[in-house]
């Protein structure tokens, strides 16, 4: 039997089952402000995971205040909203009791006919994100503040209690299976990335011939190297390039992101842009770019990239140009390995611990294989890494399809288009 539908009156929801109601958030919740529970466990709100116990994860770099008396108390089944990131999906119902940042809204449900985790699925559905964004006011680039008054007036759709309950059980079961599959694929990707790095490290530090005599390089992070390879300072191989973009003659703006040099879309106005790009450095294909600022605080970023086309990049980075007949692809791989091993973090000076070419960098000890071997290693790694990257890309595509399937499944259920 075909379910009878009606217009919900909510533009981004469309039709809903005839027996469902449309309410405002203010009709089903009230805000709480309970504080002075410093001994409770600290909770974190993730876009993808919802509410988790902060200490249960090692990827949370938000610092907890030494004094948590001002943190807000969260009971089980309370709704928590990050008002500055609601538009990204930072909103969830908590399975745990604990405390959260005083900047969050903590709300309790006021009607027995509401199943809290139905609202969890509803408000975390991506169809709501544009509405959160529309109702938020900009306070700084990339951050928007959703006032509680605007939040409480957002419309929600409410089935009968029994259907909400069935829906939550169904979605819990389905989403758990999807999440487990996604997590397995992520674990495979991490293993592939680790394997790729081990292949790179072995090739750039030991060469491709495992039968030749070896010697101690005297460099701790490299260890033994082929006997005929040399050890030299970086300044023997590279000099710093400082060619300013005077009169803005170049407009191909590049950026270093996750270890890759990419074109930057300056038309979207994402991030801070300078008034003029005249202070940027002109870079050429084959240059190596290093981001060597904030070494003390940022222990996560990848700091080394290989330029593949002429363009301009911020002069806050160190740009290296070769002064010998060397393969810069090989040396990019070598410096990338040093970066992965977090070698740059023990270097530098100043309050924010930056590293300049004229400081420790030009004295950094590197290895010098014969040019032909550099070429062979670079070609071998290009081929080997491209195959690994292709496999990783397949896994990432599968993950994205699963994420989209999960979104559509939730949307179909919470709008009544799929009956459970």
Residues 47 and 141 in one domain: yes
The per-residue pLDDT for 269 is 54
3-state secondary structure of 92: strand
Domains in the chain: how many in total? 2
Residues 134 and 243 in one domain: no
What residues make up the domain containing 285? Answer: 230-368
Question: Which of 105, 130, 159 corresponds to the end of one domain?
Answer: 159
Residues 47 and 135 in one domain: yes
Residues 148 and 269 in one domain: no
3-state secondary structure of 376: helix
244-289: pLDDT as tens digits: 988 888 889 999 988 899 998 776 655 567 778 888 999 999 999 9
Determine, yes or no, domain membership for 419.
Answer: no
3-state secondary structure of 286: coil
Determine, yes or no, domain membership for 336.
Answer: yes
Residues 138 and 246 in one domain: no
Q: Using CB atoms within 10 Å of the CB of residue 76, give its burial: 0 to 12 exposed, 13 to 18 middle, 19+ buried.
A: exposed
Give whole-number Cα distances, 252 to 98, 248, 289, in Å: 49, 10, 16
Question: Which of 130, 159, 188 corresponds to the end of one domain?
Answer: 159
Determine, yes or no, domain membership for 408.
Answer: no
The per-residue pLDDT for 141 is 61
Determine, yes or no, domain membership for 389.
Answer: no
The per-residue pLDDT for 128 is 95
Determine, yes or no, domain membership for 171.
Answer: no
3-state secondary structure of 21: strand
Residues 255 and 356 in one domain: yes
Determine, yes or no, domain membership for 164.
Answer: no
The interaxial angle of helices 161-206 and 328-340, nearest 10 deg, is: 120
The per-residue pLDDT for 351 is 43
Determine, yes or no, domain membership for 412.
Answer: no
Residues 10 and 133 in one domain: yes
The per-residue pLDDT for 57 is 64
pTM of the model: 0.84
The per-residue pLDDT for 359 is 74
Within the chain, which residues score under 50 in pLDDT?
350-352
Where residue 21 sits, what CATH number does that domain have? 3.90.220.20
Terminal-to-terminal C-alpha distance of the chain:
14
Residues 15 and 135 in one domain: yes
Determine, yes or no, domain membership for 77.
Answer: yes
Contacts of 275 (CB under 8 A, 6+ apart): none
């Amino acid at each position: 039997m075909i379910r009878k539908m009606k217009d919900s009156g909510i533009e981004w929801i469309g039709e809903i089952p005839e027996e469902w109601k449309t309410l405002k958030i203010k009709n089903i919740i009230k805000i709480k402000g309970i504080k002075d529970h410093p001994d409770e466990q600290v909770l974190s709100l993730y876009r993808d995971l919802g509410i988790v116990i902060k200490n249960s994860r090692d990827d949370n770099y938000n610092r907890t205040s030494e004094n948590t008396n001002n943190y807000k108390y969260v009971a089980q089944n309370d709704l928590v909203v990050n008002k500055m990131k609601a538009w990204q999906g930072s909103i969830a119902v908590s399975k745990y009791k604990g405390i959260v940042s005083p900047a969050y809204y903590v709300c309790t449900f006021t009607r027995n006919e509401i199943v809290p985790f139905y609202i969890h699925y509803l408000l975390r559905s991506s169809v709501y994100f544009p509405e959160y964004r529309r109702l938020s006011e900009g306070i700084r680039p990339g951050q928007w503040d959703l006032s509680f008054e605007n939040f409480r007036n957002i419309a929600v759709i409410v089935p009968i209690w029994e259907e909400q309950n069935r829906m939550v059980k169904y979605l819990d079961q389905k989403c758990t299976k999807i999440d487990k599959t996604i997590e397995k694929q992520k674990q495979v990707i991490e293993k592939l990335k680790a394997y790729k790095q081990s292949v790179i490290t072995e090739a750039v530090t030991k060469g491709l011939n495992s039968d030749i005599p070896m010697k101690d390089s005297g460099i701790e992070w490299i260890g033994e190297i082929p006997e005929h390879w040399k050890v030299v300072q970086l300044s023997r191989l590279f000099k710093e390039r400082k060619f300013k973009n005077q009169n803005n003659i170049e407009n191909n703006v590049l950026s270093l992101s996750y270890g890759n040099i990419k074109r930057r879309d300056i038309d979207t106005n994402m991030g801070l842009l300078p008034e003029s790009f005249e202070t940027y450095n002109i870079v050429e294909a084959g240059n190596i770019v290093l981001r060597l600022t904030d070494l003390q605080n940022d222990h996560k970023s990848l700091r080394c990239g290989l330029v593949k086309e002429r363009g301009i990049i911020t002069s806050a980075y160190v740009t290296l140009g070769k002064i010998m007949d060397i393969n810069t692809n090989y040396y990019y791989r070598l410096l990338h390995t040093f970066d992965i091993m977090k070698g740059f973090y023990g270097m530098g000076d100043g309050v924010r611990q930056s590293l300049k070419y004229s400081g420790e960098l030009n004295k950094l000890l590197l290895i010098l294989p014969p040019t032909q071997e550099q070429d062979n290693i670079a070609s071998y790694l290009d081929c080997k890494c491209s195959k690994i990257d292709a496999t990783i890309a397949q896994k990432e595509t599968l993950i994205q399809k699963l994420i989209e399937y999960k979104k559509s499944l939730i949307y179909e259920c919470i709008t009544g288009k799929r009956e459970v």
